[in-house]
A and B are shown apart, each in its own frame.
Chain A
Amino acid sequence: MADFLLEIGLDEVPARMIAGAEAELGQRVCDLLKRERLLGPKAKLTTYSTPRRLAVLVEDVLASQADSEEQLTGPSWKVAFKDGAPTKAAEAFAKKAGVAVEALEKITNAKGEYVGATVKRQGVAAPQVLAAELPKEVLSLYWAKNMYWRAGKPERFVRPVRWVVALLDAAVVPVEIAGITAGNKSRGHRILHGSDPVLLNSPESYVEALRKAYVMVDVAERRQTIRKALDAATRTVAGARWREDEPLIETVVHLTEWPSVVLGAFEPEYLALPEEVLVTVMRDHQKYFAVEGADGKVLPHFLAVLNTEVDAEGEEIIRHGNARVLRARFKDARFFWDFDQKVFLADRVESLKVVTFQKQLGSYHWKTEQNLVVVRQLAATVKAAGVAFDGASLLKAIELAKTDLTTELVKEFTELQGVIGGLYAKAQGLGETVAQAIYAQYTPASTEDAIPATVEGQLLGLADRIQTITAMFGIGSAPTGSKDPFALRRAANAIVKILAESGLPLTLVDVVAASGAEGANKEQVAAFLQERLSFYLKDVRGFAYDVVSAVLPADADDVRDAIARAEALTAARESADFAAISAAFKRIKNILRQAEEKGFDLGSPQDVTLAPEAQQLAAAADALAPQVAKLRQERAYGEALALIATLRPTVDAFFDKVMVLDPDAAVRGAHLGLIDQILRGFSGIADFSEIVTA
């Protein structure tokens, strides 16, 4: 029993890639040890990472593989031994198996008598196995972007490998990775520790030895340290708290080996800039946390996460330096804001002609005109259904939606497109409705994001996205596999989410129709949206796979209706009666398929005298069908499903007593007609046969 430590030392790895690589390395080492029968009964695996290293510690690794025995089967006995003497065939087999000819045995199996050999394999010691197997596991790690560094380009990896530690207890495992021979020397923090090696005497000393060298290798510990340091630094500002930002925390966790936090301030005059700009500069450009008051408003402070620990003088220098950079950025932003006000959004429409939307399609001016056509149709549908909104503001918002692309502020902060347009619209007195619609045009940006709050904003978002999708599909730029360069899946997800969460009386068909898509293009786009609806139900709403597969065949057009049916079905499937009905529907489908394959015709139950169970089923179905249809109409899906479940005893009795595929063609036809009628009559809410029953 031993402990095993592997540490790969690297030039700074991009923060966004570290967590995935750490987990993958752990998995690969674990799989390797398992495959090679080296994982002890109490094995425990822990992974670590910093920007400069990935590490895996495995407790309870076996010192060596167990010895094993394997029986090999060779040629037939008759071929191998002639008159008791071994032939060439026997000798060849013995050689191949690595045993003496005298050691060959006779094996008798079902096919006859054969020559056999028992091969004993001595277990290989763990260091040899690891030395042979580790390099390819490490070098197979997935990286979003790789590089070469050694002459002759023998391998690609995220950054150059600088050192490797591989220890089995106190002994170095003789492994070589990317030209680096493993040792027992790690490295500490670049500045706080310097270039002296960090000697590791044993795997279990890893965390503490590195801590002494100012490296916190445990990611969770760094996260905790940063959160606490943010709290502590913020406490010095009365009534303040730092603005929670999970993704930013993860970024700074993976940018630091020894984190600390410094609180800085900026001139309150910059608070006149919109909060969106302030926060974007701090978060996206400087990786600072914003500080807010009890009212949620941004305060003139920032929090920078450092990768060092400094004395008071150093802290003052660092605070000053960071504040200086931030001030320059705010100054730029204010300059751009003032500069942009010189040309109103309304006067920027024409200049969209030189901003390319897509080379084959046209400019943003073209895009704006297309969006206007689409939104007019959507607006007409919604208006006809009695939804109130400000049509003039909607059109104004669409017309100006893309004009912020010509502003300096958006050129500087591209991530704020839309938002800047909205803020400018407001500042230029275009009215709250126009401003809000422009502001929220790119939301929801993700499936977690909220949809636009206003009807105008929702319609703008729908029109813009469906126009993009249809146009892109039209020039053959539909997403394929992992390739989706125009983020069309995200656009379609947003359409589904807006339809699901807004009160808009629009279906996917309405949206596709408004885009003006025709023919094959229309079918492709419709299928794409349905596929996104399926994704939304499963991955965003968390419905079970089979529930979604059952609900969508009944209707995949009305998003909110699909959700309601999925909810009802999820609740109903718990009952035993319903599970039985699902099983029965599956059976019905199978029988009907068989019947079709055999060319059996469907008949009518009225044509012949049926068994009592069949008659009862026909009667029950006749009685239930109109009630279920009425409930479906009223969208009372729970009640409808409960009603369908009451068919269970009748259905069970039918399948118990009646042979559906009766030799008599007329009777068989009547049975088939009956179950077909049931299948059709009760599948309007969901295709129950898709439900997986225990």
Chain B
Amino acid sequence: MPLTTVSSSPEASPSKPAALTFQELLFRLQSFWAERGCVLQQPFDVEVGAGTMAPETFLRVQGPKPYKVGYAQPSRRPADGRYGENPNRLFRHTQFQLILKPPPVNVQELYLQSLEAIGIDLKKHDLKFEEDNWEGPTVGAWGVGWQVMMDGMEITQFTYFQQCGGLDLDPICAELTYGLERLCAFMQDVDSVYDVVWARDPETGAVVTYGDVRLTEELQYSVYNFESADVSKLWAHFNEYEAEAQALLAQANATLASKEASAAEKRRFPLISTYELALKCSNLFNVLDARGAISVTERVGMIGRIRNLSVGVAKVYAAQQTA
């Protein structure tokens, strides 16, 4: 039984309206937040494990400048891949990531309005904000907040960021992360994300499902992450990316500390590229982990290495902003 009342196609009868398609869900969220002054960004084009790691969050939350941004971020979790066989677990899921810096005083009310905007009648559902604090050790970030539970299901992670890149944030920001696949499966009332209607042809009513679009990818990614990825090459890539990032950070620190360097020189330092190298390391670490190539003792050390890079980037960013 569909749980929502928003009609999106002409065929839908008033008594049993169709829930939003996957892409309509994204449209609605984007328009809702755009109407409230958010910049809409496109997904970041380097592999990340979560929307938080995209520079639109990781870098923009630093410093005093207010910023509001929303974007759908494909998020890779190699260990969560299930060859497309598990109805709820995905190697790559889509987060609609929203950063409100500083958080408006009515941020929770705005969030509830966004749920109404995607067709959820709050009077007919049970909604709770349950404590859930978030921590991202590889990006030196943490915050306090909630998992937003609707009818017993987590539909959003809501975090007041306190620290990022190892630096205290001032002002803080609110991070809202909508898990689009599970939210859509919930709204369309299907038991498998692969049955989610991604798009519906308004003329013919023909549907394309999430499975049509993504199932093969999920299978192939799982095969690569669990079976084919060449462990020694992954290690080599990791070490190379790390070395390059470290070298760039050393340069950056020298330039920023130099009295001779002009402000223009400081600003042109390619920090964004340095950060991308750190993200490459993070993704390689995740693949190595899925491959079972990282022992428990190594794990902590690896997280520390990635954290060093991201903390280094955050520091340079802060210095660059004031240069």
Contact = CB atoms under 8 A, between A and B. Distances in A.
Whether A and B are associated in the same complex: the answer reads yes
Interface of A: 11-12, 14-16, 51, 145, 147-153, 159-160, 162, 190-192, 195, 255-256, 262, 286, 288, 304, 306-308, 310-311, 313-314, 316-318, 320-322, 324-328, 331-332, 335, 354-356, 359, 363
Given A307-B127, A355-B296, A332 B88 contact: yes
27 contacts: A11-B129, A145-B144, A147-B143, A147-B172, A149-B103, A149-B160, A151-B102, A152-B170, A160-B105, A160-B160, A162-B105, A190-B108, A255-B128, A304-B152, A308-B126, A310-B125, A313-B124, A317-B151, A320-B3, A320-B151, A321-B151, A324-B151, A326-B152, A331-B87, A335-B86, A355-B296, A359-B297
Contact of A318 (B108, B126, B172, B296): B126
Given A15-B131, A190-B127, 18 more contacts: A11-B129, A12-B128, A12-B146, A51-B129, A147-B144, A147-B172, A151-B171, A159-B144, A190-B112, A308-B126, A314-B123, A320-B1, A321-B150, A324-B153, A324-B191, A325-B153, A326-B152, A359-B297
Given A317-B3, A324-B191, A325-B152, A147 B88 contact: no
B123 A191 contact: yes
Interface in B117-164: 122-131, 133, 143-144, 146, 150-153, 160, 162
A328 B122 contact: no
Contacts of B143: 147
B296 A14 contact: no
A444 B319 CA distance: 54
A179 to B, nearest CB: 10
Contacts of B131: 12, 14-16
A304 B133 CA distance: 23
Given A145-B144, A355-B296, A318 B125 contact: yes
Contacts of A318: 124-126, 151
B153 A321 contact: yes
Contacts of A162: 105
Q: Which of A145, A314, A326 has the most CB of B within 10 A?
A: A314
A322 B151 contact: yes
Query: Shortest 7 CB-CB distances between A and B: which pairs?
Result: A321-B151, A14-B131, A314-B124, A12-B129, A322-B152, A306-B126, A356-B296
B275 interface: no
Contact of A328 (B125, B162, B191, B300): B191
A326 B191 CA distance: 11
Contacts of B91: none
B93 to A, nearest CB: 15
B35 interface: no
B189 interface: yes
Given A335-B86, A354-B295, A191 B122 contact: yes
A190 B127 CA distance: 9
A147 B191 contact: no
A330 B87 CA distance: 13
A354 B129 contact: no
Contact of A153 (B3, B152, B170): B170
B220 to A, nearest CB: 22
Interface in B273-323: 295-297, 300
A287 to B, nearest CB: 8
Contacts of B122: 191
B186 interface: yes
B45 interface: no
A15 B191 contact: no
Nearest to B300: A359
A344 to B, nearest CB: 20
Interface in B179-224: 186, 189, 191
Contacts, number: 121
A317 B2 CA distance: 9
Contacts of A160: 105, 160
A193 B128 CA distance: 15
Interface in B49-103: 64, 86-88, 102-103
Given A151-B102, A308-B127, A321 B152 contact: yes
B109 interface: yes
Contacts of A159: 144
A135 B43 CA distance: 45
Nearest to A146: B144
Contacts of A331: 87
Contacts of B123: 191-192, 308, 310, 314
Contacts of A190: 108-109, 112, 127
Nearest to B85: A335
Contacts of B87: 328, 331
A324 B1 CA distance: 11
Interface in B199-251: none
A230 to B, nearest CB: 15
Nearest to A322: B152
Q: Which of A12, A16, A311 has the most CB of B within 10 A?
A: A12
Given A151-B102, A356-B296, A317 B124 contact: yes
Nearest to B129: A12
Contacts of B112: 190-191
B151 A325 contact: yes
A121 B137 CA distance: 58
Contacts of A321: 3, 125, 150-153, 186
Contacts of A15: 130-131
Contacts of B124: 310-311, 313-314, 317-318
B152 A307 contact: no
Contacts of A322: 126, 151-152
A314 B296 contact: no
Given A12-B146, A151-B170, A286-B152, A354 B88 contact: no
A314 B170 contact: no
Contacts of B171: 150-151
Contacts of B189: 320, 324
Contact of B109 (A195, A311, A325): A195
Contacts of B297: 356, 359
A691 B293 CA distance: 63
Nearest to B148: A12
A173 B237 CA distance: 65
A190 B87 CA distance: 33
Given A145-B144, A149-B172, A151-B102, A327 B128 contact: no
A9 B190 CA distance: 38
Nearest to A313: B124
A222 B6 CA distance: 34
A311 B123 CA distance: 9
Contact of A147 (B129, B160, B170): B160
Contacts of A324: 151, 153, 186, 189, 191
Nearest to B88: A328
A255 B146 CA distance: 12
Q: Which of A150, A288, A328 has the most CB of B within 10 A?
A: A328
Contacts of A325: 151-153
A9 to B, nearest CB: 11
B170 A327 contact: no
Contacts of A355: 296
